[in-house]
Amino acid sequence: MRGVYIHIPFCQQICHYCDFNKVFLKNQPVDQYIESIGKEFQLMKEAGHSFEQVETVFLGGGTPTALSVLQLDRLLTIVGQYIDVPSLREFTTEANPDDLSEAQLFILKEKGVNRLSIGVQSFNERLLKQIGRTHSVEDVERVITTARSIGFENISLDLMYGLPNQTVSEWQETLDRALALDLPHYSAYSLIVEPKTVFYNRMIKGKLPLPGVDTETEMFEMVIDRMNAANRQQYEISNFAIPGYPSFHNLIYWENSHYAGIGAGAHGYLGTKRYANVGPLKHYIDHLEEGILPLKEVHEVTAGESMEEEMFLGLRKIEGVSMEHFARKFGRPIQEVFGQSIEKLQQQGLLQMKEDRLCLTKKGVFQGNTVFEQFLLEE
């Protein structure tokens, strides 16, 4: 495995768009959950999974920084018992601007975390309240100043567009404020309304006034133009960085490589199997108390599915998919498997060939889902 994802499901506040496995922090068995993560590491090791070649660790959520300083310290100590943290290429934690304290930053730094991914979404106070965020614009600027003073250089901001009642000028202002911070990495995602969220319930009642497709496209064009002008290279559809500062952990996903998912509701991909852990905290903890891996489902990935994933994950990267790597990995030329789809997409101006690589055209970047569905093989 190349990466390890660790899920921390606790939140001080539930955002209106979030469909990840999460619970309110108050009155939850947080300490017991952290110890269960250690037990899952141990059981995975006993099952023959080696953590020796791990390149990246990612703490996601939920909100990892909802944990107290002592809880963070204990969690990171457990991680260090199974993974050689000093040798990692990247160790990221997600964080919210309003619950990331100086004391937490010190312990994160001390325990080897070297990258912060901060959920900002917007620099507009009205929109922040509307999407269920509790931080202020000042919180963002304060926490970045503090993080830099402690020695964190590799900081990323998550931004979101296509929000209810969001205007193009409001999105432009958010980009202005974000880029003024001069950070090495930015992610910009369009809002996707998922089932079992506050926004989904509002949408089915006709009470979620979203920008139209044309406005959302204009916002996407704007972020690409603004990031390019600021020398933040678009290396994946939604991600922009200066050279040397991509999200190496997320590249493992887009390169269709192997990673472990640890924690309640976490997903992993090891060997030929994709798996998901049970989501409810009690079920997760109970499994591990009994010495059983907390698996909810395991799917054996067929050769055909793996080739599909290689394409629609790899094509998210602006550099695209290496045809030589594809042939070496699957023992078949890419044209033999997907020749008709490739030709069709090239004729539509959505896909292009650059030396050894297949990649999206500029038009294809805006119609990614149309491209990806062409690489679903018939059973």
pLDDT digits (tens, 9 = 90+) for 55-89: 999 999 889 999 999 999 999 999 999 999 999 99
Assess whether 159 and 39 both reside in one domain. Answer: yes
**What's the pLDDT at 195?**
81
Residues 220, 325, single domain; the answer is no
In this prediction, residue 218 carries a pLDDT of: 96
Residue with tokens 């055909």: 304
What is the count of structural domains for the chain?
2
Same domain assignment for residues 218 and 355 = no
Residues 211 and 130 in one domain: yes
Q: What is the CATH number of the domain that holds 232?
A: 3.80.30.20
| Assigned domain for 258 exists | no
Q: What is the pLDDT of residue 172?
A: 97
Residues of the chain above pLDDT 90, percent:
79
Answer yes or no: do 144 and 11 share one domain: yes
> Which pLDDT tens digit goes with each residue over 201-234?
777 777 777 788 899 999 999 999 999 999 999 9
Task: Verify that 149 and 234 share a domain, yes or no.
Answer: yes
- Pick the last residue of a domain from 211, 236, 253: 253
Q: From start to end of 183-243, where are the E strands?
A: 185-190, 233-236, 239-241
Looking at residue 210, its pLDDT comes to 77
**Same-domain check for residues 96 and 188:** yes
pLDDT at 132: 79
Task: Please give the single-letter amino acid code of residue 284.
Answer: Y
Q: Does any domain span residue 309?
A: no
Per-residue pLDDT at 305:
95
Cβ(104)–Cβ(143) below 8 Å: no
* Residue range 30-50, pLDDT digits in tens: 999 999 999 999 999 999 999
Question: Residue 231: what are its φ and ψ, rounded to 5°?
Answer: 60, 30
Is pLDDT of 357 > 60?
A: yes
Alpha-carbon span 315 to 65, nearest angstrom: 32
Identify whether residues 90 and 173 lie together within a single domain: yes
**pLDDT value at 261 more than 70:** yes
Residue 277 lies in a domain: no
| pLDDT of the residue at 191 | 81
Closest listed residue to residue 246, CA positions, set 39, 12, 28, 56: 56
Residues in the chain: 379
Domain that holds residue 195: 3-253
Interior angle at CA 363, CA 357 and CA 365, nearest 5: 65
Categorise residue 48: left if φ over 0, alpha if ψ from -120 to 50, beta otherwise.
left
- Predicted pLDDT at 209: 78
pLDDT for the residue numbered 29: 92
Does some domain include residue 292? no
The pLDDT value recorded for residue 129 is: 84
- Contact criterion met (CB below 8 Å) for 294 and 279: no
Distance of CA 54 to the CA centre of its chain: 18
Range with lowest mean pLDDT among 27-31, 108-112, 116-120, 280-284 = 27-31
- What tens digit of pLDDT does each residue of 165-195 get? 889 999 999 999 999 999 999 999 988 777 8
Which of 227, 253, 279 corresponds to the end of one domain? 253
251: tokens are 């590249």
Among 253, 286, 303, the domain boundary falls at 253
Residue 76 and residue 115 in contact, taking contact as beta carbons nearer than 8 Å:
no
Residues 213 and 336 in one domain: no
- Domain presence at residue 291: no
356 and 221, same structural domain?
no
* Cα torsion through 90, 9, 295, 49, rounded to 10: 20
Lowest mean pLDDT of 24-28, 60-64, 149-153, 297-301, name the range. Answer: 24-28
Question: Could you tell me the pLDDT band of residue 379, with boundaries at 50, 70 and 90?
Answer: low
pLDDT > 90? residue 248: yes
